[in-house]
Amino acid sequence: MKDTLDLSRTTGTAALALVCDAPTRAGFDPGDPAAAGAFGREGVALAHLGDVRRLFDGVPLDRVRLALPGGLTGMWLLALCLVTAEEQWLAPDGLGGTTYEERPAATALALRLRGDLTAYVSASLPHWAFRAGSLPGRGSPTAGPGDEAAAVAALARWRETREESTDRQGLADPYLWPSVRQSLDGLADAAIDGDCLMDATLDCVRAGVTTGEWAHTLRAALGAYESPAAYAHGGPASPAPYRTGRHRAPAGVR
């Protein structure tokens, strides 16, 4: 916990700053060629709900204030925390914290994500705020020799077992508990139809979708790309072509 969360205590309340590595903030999974050389640098890699469950194991989320990075995956990271809190029987209005926007991008995807996240927070999270500036706390190198290979292997195991891992209520009915493919299809539809992306993102988290799958689906629907290297060094996003039509889950996703 100490190498992934910056912890401070003020007035009896724990403040937890979630410091992520550049691939996570740019929307790439461990092992993605686009993230080569950046895994685990200056932060933790978070690929899916299981990673956040382990990160917050033993942490009562109703007694802390979270500090999360914004940017491309700001919505995704908040959704991961909300579902983890949900598993602790904590209602959304019981989670408190702040999303920090260090360098807001102006791509269509970034603007859409920021607008939808702001709307969701305003309607559903009375104890959540936005602030311009850097995330409090500093990340430290967390990855050692072999850690990236271990993370890639763990991600493969997650993909093999995630339908069982995330079906907490034992609901086989896909209309009650969407599968990975159904949740990603719903995300693509929401992106194209102009619906709030947060609800579809929460469904993706619950289904076990990975950070890279979520971001890939939105890039395909709305068109935006930013490499982990550019994200880490403050470079501009590279434009991706806007694609029309219905976009479905990435190849290989069930």
- Name every residue whose Cβ is closer than 8 Å to that of residue 21 and which is 6 or more positions away in sequence: 38, 39, 40, 41, 42, 43, 44, 45, 139, 142, 143, 228
- Helix pair 197-207, 147-166: axis angle to 10 deg: 100
Confidence of residue 51 (pLDDT cuts 50, 70, 90): very high
- Quick one: average pLDDT of 230-235? 49
Say what the pTM is: 0.81
pLDDT number for residue 36: 80
pLDDT number for residue 237: 41
- Say if strands 64-69 and 13-18 run parallel, antiparallel, or are unpaired: parallel
pLDDT number for residue 184: 96
**In this predicted model, what pLDDT tens digit does every residue of 12-26 receive, in sequence order?**
568 899 999 999 999
Percent of the chain whose predicted confidence (pLDDT) is above 90: 57
- Quick one: average pLDDT of 109-122? 94
Percent of the chain whose predicted confidence (pLDDT) is above 70: 73
Nearest to 126 by CA among 97, 101, 99, 100: 97
The Cα diameter of the chain in Å comes to: 52
- Quick one: average pLDDT of 162-186? 69
pLDDT number for residue 40: 80
**In this predicted model, what pLDDT tens digit does every residue of 216-229 receive, in sequence order?**
999 999 876 555 55
User: How far apart, in Å, are the Cα atoms of 108 and each of 94, 105, 117, 240?
Assistant: 31, 9, 14, 10
How far, in Å, CA of 156 to CA of 136, rounded?
A: 32
- Say if strands 13-18 and 5-10 run parallel, antiparallel, or are unpaired: antiparallel
User: How far apart, in Å, are the Cα atoms of 194 and each of 59, 189, 223?
Assistant: 36, 8, 14
Pick from 54-63, 93-102, 224-233: least confident: 224-233
**In this predicted model, what pLDDT tens digit does every residue of 79-94 receive, in sequence order?**
999 999 999 999 999 9
